[in-house]
């Protein structure tokens, strides 16, 4: 009886457990937050976890990204694949769908299709605003999470018009009602500049997982915690703030204009949080034959690859990592140089 101890709880039981088993949850990003939430949801018996991440495991992740082990970093495994293996080992009775890709306006629709809840495990604001656009447009609940330094922020964002499998009466404002615009790049602390405490991740992901389970078992009335939580286990602080309701003047949930989803906002090349690396998107996303690319790159440097990812160290010691969807991570903090390397060695 894998789920016996949670089924003893007052809000659970056969029907709730059945609902969890029928549910599909999008875990957008399996860095620190996504790992923690996915682990709890897999153990609780959520039927399908669709886990999406664009990145590879590195040793500096292991301090807080609990689904990964040293060998995943040594082998530079894609996070979505390494996470899927670990989650399947934890609970072989559920379905794990790993996707090694970036969440962009071009990819987000199939990733979110048929999902009951969208869970934020993201490391950047552009993708959060994109996820918010989709949540509002399609009437899906968005469980926001963020952590940096010794604390973090959690909130359930429930659009005015639920259109997915999860229903609720009282909506909240959306991400743009709370934070109308993302701040200019480089103005917020990141895990790269400010560091991040492992227990801060644990606190945030526990709240995110509790909100997700509540939504999935129909605990969506007054019993659902609809507040914004700012938590800091290092200072022993936890603050609850009322979430605003939907704002008539909000461009997203008020006027239903979706600036990120429709492609006008967000960038194609970006410096990644926590790494000395630039991600470059091809102009058109699609499947890249990594065998052919490996054959081409062999004359330029040392190449290792499998079906998901290729890694090559170029003569000037710059490492490029190429994924099967055509994206590349280039180990430099220079956006222009990264685009040039992409065009030279991979081709647009």
Instruction: Give 190-245 as a DSSP string.
Output: -HHHH-B-HHHHHHHHHHHHHHHHHHHTT--STTS--EEEEEETTTTEEEEEEPP-
Q: Which of residues 34 and 171 has its CB atom nearest to Zn ion in the complex?
A: 171
Order of all β-strands in the sheet with 309-313: 269-271, 278-280, 328-330, 319-323, 309-313, 302-305
Residue 345 has what DSSP assignment? I
Q: Which of residues 80 and 252 has its CB atom nearest to Zn ion in the complex?
A: 252
Specify which residues 319 forms β-bridges with.
Answer: 313
How far is residue 6 from each of residues 3, 34, 89, 94, measured CA to CA in Å?
A: 6, 22, 20, 17
Q: Are 22 and 221 spatial neighbours (Cβ–Cβ below 8 Å)?
A: no
Q: Would you count residue 252 as binding Zn ion (CB under 5 A)?
A: yes
Q: Which of residues 168-227 bind Zn ion (CB under 5 A)?
A: 174, 176-177
Among 253, 273, 288, 346, binds Zn ion (CB under 5 A): 253
Q: Which of residues 130 and 201 has its CB atom nearest to Zn ion in the complex?
A: 130
Minimum Å gap between C-beta 153 and Zn ion is 17
Q: Which of residues 151 and 173 has its CB atom nearest to Zn ion in the complex?
A: 173
Minimum Å gap between C-beta 78 and Zn ion is 33
Q: Would you count residue 46 as binding Zn ion (CB under 5 A)?
A: no
Q: Which of residues 55 and 138 has its CB atom nearest to Zn ion in the complex?
A: 138
In angstroms, rounded to a whole number, what is the distance separating the alpha carbons of residues 348 and 343?
6
Q: Is 35 part of the annotated catalytic residue set?
A: no
Minimum Å gap between C-beta 177 and Zn ion is 4
- Binding footprint of Zn ion, residue count (CB under 5 A): 6
Q: Which of 174, 177, 191, 253 is catalytic?
A: 191
How far is residue 150 from each of residues 153, 206, 237, measured CA to CA in Å?
A: 11, 15, 10
Task: Give the list of residues 6+ apart from residue 184 with CB closer than 8 angstroms, or none.
Answer: none
Which one of the spans 69-77, 248-256, 282-290, 307-315 is the region binding Zn ion (CB under 5 A)?
A: 248-256
Q: How many CB atoms lie within 10 A of CB 306?
A: 15
In angstroms, rounded to a whole number, what is the distance separating the alpha carbons of residues 186 and 173?
26
Q: Tokens 């994206």 appear where?
A: 327
Order of all β-strands in the sheet with 142-148: 95-100, 48-53, 24-28, 117-120, 142-148, 151-157, 227-232, 237-242
How far is residue 216 from each of residues 11, 168, 169, measured CA to CA in Å?
A: 12, 11, 15
Which one of the spans 166-174, 196-204, 314-322, 323-331 is the region binding Zn ion (CB under 5 A)?
A: 166-174
Which one of the spans 16-24, 243-251, 272-280, 302-310 is the region binding Zn ion (CB under 5 A)?
A: 243-251
Q: Which of residues 25 and 177 has its CB atom nearest to Zn ion in the complex?
A: 177
Which one of the spans 38-46, 167-175, 265-273, 327-335 is the region binding Zn ion (CB under 5 A)?
A: 167-175
In angstroms, rounded to a whole number, what is the distance separating the alpha carbons of residues 176 and 129?
8
Q: Would you count residue 134 as binding Zn ion (CB under 5 A)?
A: no
Q: Would you count residue 322 as binding Zn ion (CB under 5 A)?
A: no
Minimum Å gap between C-beta 50 and Zn ion is 25
Q: Would you count residue 250 as binding Zn ion (CB under 5 A)?
A: yes
Which one of the spans 92-100, 244-252, 262-270, 296-304 is the region binding Zn ion (CB under 5 A)?
A: 244-252
Please list the active-site residues.
191
Residue numbers of the site for Zn ion (CB under 5 A)? 174, 176-177, 250, 252-253
């Amino acid at each position: 009886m894998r789920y016996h101890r949670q089924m003893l709880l007052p809000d659970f039981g056969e029907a709730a457990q059945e609902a969890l088993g029928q549910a599909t949850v999008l875990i957008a990003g399996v860095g620190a937050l996504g790992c923690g939430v996915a682990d709890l949801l897999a153990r609780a018996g959520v039927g399908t976890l669709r886990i999406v991440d664009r990145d590879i495991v590195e040793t500096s992740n292991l301090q807080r990204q609990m689904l990964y082990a040293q060998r995943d970093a040594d082998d530079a495994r894609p996070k979505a694949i390494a996470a899927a293996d670990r989650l399947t080992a934890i609970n072989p009775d559920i379905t794990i769908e790993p996707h090694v890709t970036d969440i962009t306006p071009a990819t987000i629709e199939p990733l979110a299709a048929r999902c009951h809840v969208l869970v934020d495990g993201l490391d950047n604001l552009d993708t959060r605003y994109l996820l918010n656009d989709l949540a509002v447009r399609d009437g899906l609940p968005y469980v926001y999470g963020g952590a940096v330094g010794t604390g973090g922020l959690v909130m359930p964002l429930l659009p005015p018009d639920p259109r997915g499998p999860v229903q609720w009466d009282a909506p909240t404002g959306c991400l743009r009602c709370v934070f109308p615009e993302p701040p200019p790049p480089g103005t917020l602390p990141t895990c790269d500049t400010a560091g991040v405490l492992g227990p801060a991740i644990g606190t945030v992901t526990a709240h995110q997982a509790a909100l997700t389970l509540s939504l999935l078992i129909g605990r969506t009335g007054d019993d659902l915690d609809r507040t914004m939580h700012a938590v800091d286990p290092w200072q022993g602080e936890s603050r609850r703030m009322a979430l605003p309701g939907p704002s008539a003047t909000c461009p997203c949930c008020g006027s239903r204009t979706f600036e990120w989803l429709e492609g006008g906002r967000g960038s194609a090349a970006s410096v990644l949080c926590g790494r000395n690396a630039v991600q470059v998107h091809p102009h058109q996303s699609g499947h890249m034959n990594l065998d052919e690319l490996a054959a081409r790159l062999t004359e330029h440097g040392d190449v290792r690859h499998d079906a998901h990812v290729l890694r090559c160290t170029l003569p000037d010691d710059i490492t490029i990592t190429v994924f099967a969807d055509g994206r590349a991570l280039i180990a430099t903090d220079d956006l222009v140089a990264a685009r040039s390397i992409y065009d030279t060695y991979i081709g647009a």
